[in-house]
Amino acid sequence: MPADDRLPFPPPADQASKTVWHVLGAGSLGSLWAARLARAGLPLRLILRSPERLEAYRAAGGLRLTYGDETQLYPIEGEALDAGTPIRRLLLACKAYDALPAIERLAPRLAPGTELLLLQNGLGSQDAVAAALPECRCIFASTTEGAFRDGDFHVVFAGLGHTWLGDAGAPPAWLAELERAGIPHSWSADIQTRLWRKLALNCAINPLTVLHDCRNGGLLEHEEEVAGLCNELRELLRRCDQPTAAEGLREDVERVIRATAANYSSMHQDVAHGRRSEIAYLLDHACREAERLSLPLPRLQSLHLRLQKHLAARGLPVD
């Protein structure tokens, strides 16, 4: 990144919107979003998971975001899960397995009509949250942006990308706030297609990078294995009424493998760092759907078992 590169954010705006954005999760994506919303002058609170984390956050003086050579501090106000004040708009930026437990803790602060933006990877957690909050508006998101944590409350913006958001309703007026915050996004009337396609990509790439202990580009040496998985995933997508997500899957998987050849997949990184993976919302979800449809997908099921054994051998959760 050239030294004179500027953060891709607009200058602060002087006119603040009335609805406060609550961001749950001071991790990679939550911090990336919070920093840009704060920079645009939007009213914002960051929700920390425990009183200890809140205290540590306050001691740090805010969030630090690095983009290229530039690091900026954003002294966003932090608050506890049980702060008590109502939440009207929430960005849920935790891992898929933390989404429902987080919502259960926050439920007393959510009113009918509260809007939630769900940033989780994979499928399953979004429906679980939406089912738990039938009176709220749950908008699903899929993003190609990349960020990672570089210490407490310090996040590095690692990959420019795009976020697709959508539900069955009309686009909300606050998309203009994302525009103002410089968050590249599109409203997608068919967000399920995007989520399924991303799930299929992640199922074809991530587990194999763990089992072969390689970067994404290492899968170019396992073309037959990848192609076999893509055939089964295509079949699954079609049977799940996702024909558009099935189209050109094999080619797209190969394109992503080449474009991200030097990267370790998110699942590889989780396992390498001894962290819980999101397998339950990726490969598990795909296998459960296949079972529900009585669709035999032997390669996918064998991959699932191999991955579970691999995780168990390292003392990591298998779902």
Q: How far is the CB of 183 from ligand NAD (least distance, A)?
A: 13
Residue 214 within binding range of ligand NAD, rule CB under 6 A:
no
Which partner, ligand NAD, ligand KPL, none, binds residue 47 by CB below 5 to 8 Å per kind?
ligand NAD
Q: Which two tokens mark 62?
A: 């805010």
Q: Which of 306, 307, 191, 294 is nearest to 236 (CA)?
A: 294
Q: How far is the CB of 129 from ligand KPL (least distance, A)?
A: 20
Interface pick for ligand NAD out of 21, 23, 30, 210 (rule CB under 6 A): 30
Active site (annotated) includes residue 198: yes
Q: How many residues bind ligand NAD (CB under 6 A)?
A: 27
Which residues sit at the interface with ligand KPL, rule CB under 6 A? 201-202, 205-206, 216, 256, 260, 263, 265-266
Identify whether the C-beta of residue 155 lies closer than 8 Å to the C-beta of residue 147: yes
Interface pick for ligand NAD out of 119, 123, 282, 311 (rule CB under 6 A): 119
Interface pick for ligand NAD out of 114, 126, 143, 242 (rule CB under 6 A): 143
Residue 120 within binding range of ligand NAD, rule CB under 6 A:
yes
- Residues near ligand NAD (CB under 6 A) are 24-30, 47-49, 81, 93-96, 98, 102, 105, 119-121, 143, 146-147, 149, 266, 278
